[in-house]
């Protein structure tokens, strides 16, 4: 079976982290996010993967190549202009001549894909949509089903008075190739708002596959930070490595004996943790980063080659690669794009979002 992964979006909700890199390349536990998606599919026997991408995601191809290093075969389908979720898959139709899987490229999940495919085939469905429960479905598309799992109604981004279920579209689909005939060529077209409701109105067998698997949409900095908290605190994520309250330190990293660390903490390779630094997990520090003396870091994610000078205080924040926090500055609840410098003694207000290559005094 082939899988199509939608990686062509501009990731505007995740900015400033994605101002200069595609969402697929955003690091999760110091590895590109997309690497987890590939390995998860491969673990379920899916080795042929089509990446539906746009000009915003060209660096994905340069990094992953043909996929052989990950034991899969990657094919790249390029769209010249945004085609929507269904339109992007239609653009890759030449590769899809049998039952296939579609995944949104911003979902981290350990969904049992093989079980979902078996469910789809057992019911002779034309489309099967993975469902996941959420506390607040108003930002998503909820799906109502019969007792047998057949979809009866779609409600996109419901108001409070429209909520009849907490099960939402989880962004993973199994489709039969004949449904592609209902998607127009080179036209912006959506699975969620157009194709699926149209198929339902025609009486096509559209089913939903509910799952209690871990699921996180990493589309915002808040969700991205929460994903790291979940992974580091071992929320039953089977395909990740750091677990429990452990501290993982990469090769060639130096940790001063006076530093204080409370896990879970992941420190990348070639990092320096200075005198009397205090790290309170969950914390991730990317390769080549320098943490100077008397620095406090709590519940934060730091990318590669970041420098925190003496007496910096960093809490509940995300720093993209190349950032520098000068001595004595305080950063709480903020997100900094790549190569941002925060001046000595400065204090960022919670909720600050600084685009790449800016200086905050």
H or E element that contains 225: helix 221-232
Q: Exposed, middle or buried by CB within 10 Å (0-12, 13-18, 19+), for 212?
A: exposed
Asked whether the beta carbons of 25 and 63 are under 8 A apart, the reply is: yes
Strands, E assignment, 176-230: 206-210, 215-217
Alpha-carbon span 152 to 102, nearest angstrom: 21
Alpha-carbon span 295 to 281, nearest angstrom: 14
- For residue 65, the tally of other CB atoms under 10 A from its CB is 11
Q: Are strands 330-332 and 313-315 parallel, antiparallel or unpaired?
A: parallel
Beta bridge partners of 207: 128, 150
Is 23 a catalytic site residue? no
Asked whether the beta carbons of 268 and 274 are under 8 A apart, the reply is: no
Taking alpha carbons only, the member of 290, 254, 256, 249 closest to residue 276 is 256
State the catalytic residue, choosing from 157, 188, 347, 360: 157
Beta bridge partners of 315: 298, 332
Catalytic residues: 157
């Amino acid at each position: 079976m082939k899988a199509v992964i939608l990686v062509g979006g501009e990731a505007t909700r995740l900015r400033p982290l994605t101002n200069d890199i595609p969402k697929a390349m955003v690091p999760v536990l110091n590895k590109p996010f997309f690497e987890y998606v590939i390995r998860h599919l491969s673990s379920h026997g899916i080795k042929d993967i089509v990446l539906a991408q746009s000009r915003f995601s060209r660096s994905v191809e340069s990094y992953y190549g043909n996929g052989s290093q990950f034991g899969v075969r990657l094919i790249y389908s390029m769209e010249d202009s945004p085609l929507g979720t269904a339109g992007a898959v239609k653009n890759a139709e030449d590769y899809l001549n049998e039952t296939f899987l579609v995944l949104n490229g911003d979902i981290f999940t350990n969904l049992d894909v093989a079980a979902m495919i078996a469910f789809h085939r057992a019911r002779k469905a034309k489309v099967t949509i993975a469902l996941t429960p959420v506390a607040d479905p108003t930002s998503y598309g909820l799906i109502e089903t019969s007792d047998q799992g057949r979809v009866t109604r779609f409600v996109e981004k419901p108001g409070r008075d429209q909520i009849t279920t907490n099960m939402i579209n989880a962004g993973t689909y199994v489709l039969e190739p004949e449904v592609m005939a209902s998607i127009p060529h080179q036209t912006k077209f959506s699975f969620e708002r157009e194709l699926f409701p149209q198929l339902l109105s025609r009486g096509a067998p559209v089913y939903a596959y509910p799952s209690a698997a871990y699921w996180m949409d990493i589309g915002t900095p808040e969700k991205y930070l929460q994903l790291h908290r979940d992974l580091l605190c071992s929320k039953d994520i089977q395909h990740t490595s750091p677990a429990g309250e452990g501290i993982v330190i990469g090769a060639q990293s130096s940790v001063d004996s006076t530093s204080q660390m409370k896990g879970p903490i992941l420190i990348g390779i070639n990092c320096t943790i200075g005198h009397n630094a205090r790290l309170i997990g969950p914390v991730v520090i990317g390769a080549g980063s320098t943490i100077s003396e008397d620095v406090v870091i709590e519940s934060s994610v730091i990318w590669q080659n970041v420098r925190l000078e003496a007496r910096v205080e960093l809490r509940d924040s995300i720093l993209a690669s190349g950032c520098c926090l000068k001595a004595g500055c305080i950063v709480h609840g903020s997100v900094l794009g790549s190569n941002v410098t925060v001046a000595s003694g400065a204090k960022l207000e919670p909720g600050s979002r600084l685009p790449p290559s800016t200086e905050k005094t």
